[in-house]
Amino acid sequence: MRATILDYGAGNLHSLARALTLLGLEARVESSVRAALDTQLLVLPGVGAFGCAVDRLEPDREALAEAIRGGLPLIGICLGMQLFFETSEEDDTRRRRGLGLLPGCVTRLRSRRVPHIGWTPLGASEERPTARPQERDQPMYFAHSYACRPENLAVVSAWATHEADRFPASIRFGRVAGVQFHPEKSSVAGLALLDRLVSQVTQ
């Protein structure tokens, strides 16, 4: 299966490509949105700033969103998942517009210590009690200062907590999955979870 990592200025592309290759996928990195849409699985990577990412995507934002709504399998990691939402407050001067795939916004973590960096276990989602057990209770590696706040909590498949702030750790809807943590940096458990997400969105 061909998996394309969209290079919109985010970091960590090569470790993510290695992880996908270990799963048996044909991984490539593509900077053109139009070229990246010719794939069996699109991956939005996750180290960078929301505003810079949406600026890079702006010329082809609607084509990208339309392809995803049309059924293109998608996995978003950290910043990549945050781009699913309507807006983000990461830019202090104004709210920035995301892809608008889900209603909701991205806000700064409501914690004293920001960023949240390190291993944190995933918690169950009361809104989706049928979520697979493998999506819960595993510690995963997080590195972020902002978190997703979806209006529809039914899309949340697992939660995580940093200090008193409980936020979505993973999201599933349609043929789309997103994680706030970095599975490619989360050892064997992270790689296994990434493998399951690939199977779920491409079936």
Catalytically annotated residue among 86, 90, 135, 184: 184
Question: What number of CA atoms fall less than 13 Å from residue 121's CA on the CB side?
Answer: 8
Catalytically annotated residue among 116, 144, 162, 182: 182
Whether residue 140 contacts residue 119, with contact meaning beta carbons closer than 8 Å, is answered with yes
Q: Round to whole Å and give the CA distance between 114 and 164.
A: 12
As a whole number of Å, the CA-based R_g of the chain is 15
Active site residue 78: yes
Q: Round to whole Å and give the CA distance between 69 and 170.
A: 19
Q: Round to whole Å and give the CA distance between 173 and 151.
A: 13
Q: Round to whole Å and give the CA distance between 176 and 125.
A: 17
Active site residue 86: no
Active site residue 182: yes
Catalytically annotated residue among 78, 90, 116, 148: 78
| Strand, coil or helix: 194 | helix
Q: Which residues are catalytic?
A: 78, 182, 184
